[in-house]
Amino acid sequence: MKLRPLDDRVVIKQIEAQEKTSGGILLPDTAKEKPQIGKVVAIGPGKLLDSGKRSKIAVKKNDKVIYAKYIGSEVEVDGTEYVILKESDILGIIEK
């Protein structure tokens, strides 16, 4: 199954949460904080403007991004979890 977002929505695959702290303490699943970093796997065509044209989306597939903490909708497709959110909820792109 392929997931295709609409308008200015972006599909992100979350990067796994850290399993231990910087001090070396192992964290149980319940104590792991959800990461706010993910990889863009799909983008919509852009928001429909009043002029009838679509706005350009600033992120592209495979970009590593940081997004707002409690934003988006979590979905599961073929056993893989994704977050679908609006482009405006993306705070930045992580560049190498």
Is pLDDT of 35 > 90?
no
- The phi-psi region of residue 52 (left if phi > 0; otherwise alpha if psi is between -120 and 50; otherwise beta) is left
Report residue 87's pLDDT band, with 50, 70 and 90 as the boundaries: very high
Rounded Cα–Cα distance for residues 11 and 25 (Å): 32
Distance of CA 47 to the CA centre of its chain: 17
Structure tokens at 82: 């994704």
For the cut 80, the answer to whether the pLDDT of residue 84 exceeds it is yes
Domains of the chain plus CATH, in order, are 9-17+28-94 (2.30.33.40)
Say what the pLDDT of residue 17 is.
60
Which tokens go with 68? 């707002």
pTM of the model: 0.78
